[in-house]
A and B are shown apart, each in its own frame.
Chain A
Amino acid sequence: MLAIGTNTTKAHPVIALQLKAASRNGTRLIVANPKEIVLSRHAEIVMQQKPGTDVVLLMAMMKVIVDENLQDQQFINERTENFDEFKKSLNTFGIEYAEKITGVPGETIIEAARTFATTKPASIFYAMGITQHSHGTDNVIAVSNLALLTGNIGKPGTGVNPLRGQNNVQGACDMGALPNVYTGYQRVDNPDVKKKFETAWGVELNGKNGLTHTEIFDDAYNGKIKAIYMVGENPILSEANAHHVREAIEKLGFFVAQDIFMTETSILADVILPGASFAEKDGTVTNTERRVQRMHRAIKPVGDSKPDWWIAAEIAKRMGGKGFEYAGAEEIFSEITSLTPSYQGISYGRLEHGGLQWPCPTTEHPGTPILHTEKFPREGGKGKFMPLVYRESAELADKDYPLILTTDRSLYHYHTSTMTRKVEGLELLDSEELLIINPEDAGKYGISSGDMVVITSRRGDVRSKAKVSGECPPGVISMTFHFAETPTNDITNPALDPVAKIPETKVSAVKIRKVV
């Protein structure tokens, strides 16, 4: 197993249990992470690459595999295309070059490559450490190339496993809470799809892709967007370069926030609508392995709060929308399954006996634990190797900003901590931001554990207590973004990946000084 760009024990503790158990039972674990994480203790090979150099690390591993002829040639021949083109692109990723860029000893890269290529089956786990980069898409492609090269896709114990952050981030995407697709990734710019939804919903629909998260704030800032309806989000803490988000929101004509608590963002709203928490709702969520599971209402909504769907439907009805007269969650789910092929065979009745992994096209279908067993969802059904070049992170350490700040998470808090900081015990266990800094750097700046430090980037500054620890290598510092008192994302880099439009919160150039 290769775990890259995931601090699993903190962000996905229960999956980490399974990784640790596998390692204990003899599965060989390779961990690649700029920080020395808890999972490293359980790994056979540990690589601490510099933040933002994952493409180089992975491509160099693949060059070793190809050079030593360790690739799964049969899989490549039968199930993929564009291998030769890709092979050429490996040429630049020699081991010395990789060692120089990533900071990982060449022998370790070679050892990792050999181990990964010769141990079957092998799987890859990754999380935000791969995606939150200005070249996050390249990182993901590199991961997928590695899986294709070693034939580790579509079989038990293999695969590329992105570990998703939120409990229903998979579901939100599946449901079309994205600017370019309806449910089940049916594209809004596809006329057939448009027609299907127009028929189902009885309205005329817009065939043009909408704006992404970051673009919405940009347009709000520029005055093109006048009103925002925001459900359960706290971008003032979570978004890179959060200053900009605050200013954008302040420029809006009308801002509606729907949430269970007052947050750093909702306090800016003109109207706040009280949503119900998960315990107060019936419904389904879809986890990181595409498993649709049933939530049952445990208590009635606290106060006058209402399920989020009810609120949206009420606004819709008051704006003249048709087809929003739902009696309950199950009725909505039926509408979803009728419009979404991958969910078609799922029903509340079936979910009573445990979750189902989509695609589940028919009511008899058992669900699909493993994707791409026979073909890939592309024209021709083959997996495509993508040649890659190394693109540096948008900001590198330089004379003025000599350190790289990367973001991480705490086991005890969740995202912007809107919920977890309401739990007294969790707050006791972890009550403030701690900037992790290597002893070598700490020495340079005269910083000891417990000192207050100002961290400054090109976008602003924040203050945090320091914790001197070897978890971070020299030159790299790390912070979470759980604490409103230390809004780390005020200073992170909003540079976007051109395809996925994801901000580069994992690599920002900063300077620090101790507060005396």
Chain B
Amino acid sequence: MEKIKLTIDGMAITADRGKTILEAALDNGIYIPHLCHHQDLAPAAVCRVCLVEVEGRGHTISCRTPVEEGLTISTESDHLNKIRRIPVELIFANHDTDCIACTRNNNCQLQRVASYLGLERDSMDRMRMGNIEKPIDTSNPFFDRNPNRCIYCGICIRTCDEIQNINAIDFASRGYKMTVSTFGDNPIADSRCESCGECVVRCPVGALSPKTTMEPSRSVKSVCTYCGVGCGVELGVRGNSVVSVEGDRDNAVNHGSLCVKGRYGFEFINHRERIRKPLIKKNGKFEESTWDEALDLVAKKFREYGKEKVAVFSSAKCSNEDNYVIQKFTRAVLGTNSIDHCARL
């Protein structure tokens, strides 16, 4: 990849050809305020806060302008702040600012931009407040859509289009009345949405928020347990419970993408109906037993029937190690090759 040399705020940096000024800056640890940019998506250039000054060109939208050899860029000036401060103040004038009640509190791009620009209550109060009591769409079992926190960056729409190719949502209506809408403005649950949650993950503010929002205390890498694609997951754990699943961006299979089952189908792990103890049927009813009692019973019965009378089903849901031990047991102990699993179903 060809390297381009440029200067940002007096620092000489290099970037791959094709990168935008914003990407080059972020890659080099220089923050330029931005709201509608997302690394996985094509630039939209709609929030207009990522303005920078390019020598010889004046103010320029950095998320859309590719780097060029020898560009001299400054990310900070009174002139820039004068232009980009207003859009942010305007967003706040139309935003439910009850941040404590928001799932994105402290992890919010809007908060970050506001603090970068030094916005204060007073300066926001000079604006006329917009309507922040629009109805919230709670129809999806996994996430809510709150238009009062929406900044109309279009990241959800672009995700659904560019990454998922589903196009369940798009902008509807014009100007100030513009909304993010499903076809016919139906609740999201009655739309084409497949609940993959990719938009929820990318929402830079709290407009799309998962319904269960327990913050995990640690995260563990594993592999999704559903289909054969083998997506990498990061299980969010709190105590002895799995409370969230996120796609593993480092995984070569899915690069962070997940489907609805992978992302939201984890409730079964700590489900109350999990079998917690060995069960032995006595007089037609299951009774809890100890491992020793159950295992001894099984071993005794298998021994009684002997070779060729016992068959084994292993599981395509179990690990390689499980399957290996089960087939080894079948062959080495039961003395039969009658082992199979549901590969054909």
Contact = CB atoms under 8 A, between A and B. Distances in A.
Determine whether A and B are in direct contact in the complex, meaning some CB atoms lie less than 8 angstroms apart. Answer: yes
Interface of A: 9, 11-15, 17, 20-21, 24, 42, 131-132, 163-180, 182-183, 188, 197, 201, 203, 205-206, 208-213, 216, 219-220, 224-233, 235, 238-239, 253-254, 256, 259-262, 269-275, 277-281, 283-289, 291-300, 302-309, 311-316, 318-321, 323-324, 326, 329, 332-333, 335-336, 354-355, 411-415, 418-420, 422-426, 428-429, 500-503, 505
A279 B242 contact: yes
A206 B335 contact: yes
Contacts of A233: 313, 315, 341-342
Contacts of A318: 295-296, 298-299
Interface in B292-345: 294-299, 301-303, 305, 307-345
Contacts of A336: 320-321, 324
A256 to B, nearest CB: 5
Most chain A CB neighbours (cut-off 10 Å) among B221, B230, B278, B302 = B230
A253 B235 CA distance: 41
Nearest to B265: A423
B301 A227 contact: yes
Contact of A165 (B279, B302, B307, B316): B316
Contacts of A17: 163-165, 257
A321 B329 contact: yes
Contacts, number: 461
Interface in B220-246: 220-232, 235, 237, 240-242
A273 to B, nearest CB: 5
A277 B326 contact: no
B258 interface: yes
B344 A131 contact: yes
A261 B228 CA distance: 21
A53 B203 CA distance: 46
Contact of A167 (B221, B225, B278, B301): B225
Given A302-B276, A354-B250, A20 B333 contact: no
A423 B266 contact: yes
A291 B259 contact: no
Contact of A277 (B223, B225, B237, B310): B225
B342 A166 contact: yes
Given A272-B275, A318-B296, A426-B260, A283 B322 contact: yes
Contacts of A280: 269
A235 B224 CA distance: 22
Given A164-B227, A323-B332, A426-B141, 13 more contacts: A167-B317, A168-B228, A175-B327, A206-B336, A208-B337, A233-B342, A272-B279, A285-B319, A285-B320, A305-B276, A311-B295, A315-B329, A323-B328
A271 B268 contact: no
Top 4 A-B pairs, shortest CB-CB distance = A303-B276, A287-B230, A210-B337, A283-B319
A165 B225 CA distance: 11
Nearest to B232: A293
A183 B278 CA distance: 30
B316 A201 contact: no
Contacts of A289: 230, 253
Interface stretch (B15-23, B176-184, B188-196): B188-196
From A272, A307, A312, A336, residue with most partner B Cβ within 10 Å: A312
Given A169-B343, A213-B342, A411 B291 contact: no
25 contacts: A24-B165, A166-B342, A167-B228, A169-B316, A176-B339, A201-B332, A206-B307, A209-B337, A213-B342, A219-B311, A227-B301, A232-B314, A232-B318, A281-B322, A287-B228, A288-B228, A299-B269, A302-B270, A305-B274, A319-B303, A319-B333, A323-B332, A333-B320, A429-B141, A429-B195
Contacts of B274: 260-261, 274, 277, 302-303, 305
Nearest to B161: A24
Given A213-B340, A226-B305, A419-B265, A271 B278 contact: yes
Given A167-B228, A174-B320, A179-B338, A229 B344 contact: no
B278 A178 contact: no
A231 B315 CA distance: 6
B92 interface: no
Contact of A306 (B260, B291, B320): B291
Contact of B340 (A179, A277, A291): A179
B298 A271 contact: yes
B323 A232 contact: no
A17 B340 CA distance: 32
B316 A309 contact: no
B134 interface: no
Contacts of B336: 206, 210
Give the interface size bracket for B toward A: 35 or more
A419 B149 CA distance: 34
Nearest to B335: A206
Contacts of A163: 228-229
A426 B278 contact: no
Contact of B298 (A24, A225, A256, A294): A256
A14 B231 contact: yes
A185 to B, nearest CB: 13
A370 to B, nearest CB: 14
Given A13-B259, A274-B277, A354-B250, A253 B323 contact: no
A169 to B, nearest CB: 4
B230 A291 contact: yes
A229 B229 contact: no
A412 B163 CA distance: 19
Given A295-B222, A299-B237, A425-B264, A321 B291 contact: no
A216 B338 contact: yes
B270 A12 contact: no
Contacts of B331: 182, 188, 197, 201, 205-206
A165 B343 CA distance: 8
A309 B301 CA distance: 19
A41 B192 CA distance: 13
Contact of B317 (A168, A426, A428): A168
Contacts of A201: 328, 331-332
B323 A314 contact: no
B259 A14 contact: yes
Contacts of A228: 310-313
B267 interface: yes
B229 to A, nearest CB: 5
A286 B250 CA distance: 17
Count chain A CB atoms within 10 A of each CB in B277, B327, B339, B345 and give the residue with the most.
Answer: B345
A329 B318 CA distance: 12
B324 A259 contact: no
A176 B324 contact: yes
A335 B324 contact: yes
B126 interface: no
Nearest to A309: B325
Nearest to A330: B321
Contacts of B142: 425
Nearest to A174: B320
B122 interface: no
Given A167-B225, A206-B331, A254-B301, A211 B325 contact: no
B324 A183 contact: yes
A172 B338 contact: no
Contacts of A210: 311, 336-340
A238 B163 CA distance: 33
B273 interface: yes
A329 B321 contact: yes
A12 B334 CA distance: 36
Contacts of B271: 261, 422
Nearest to A204: B335
A203 B224 CA distance: 36
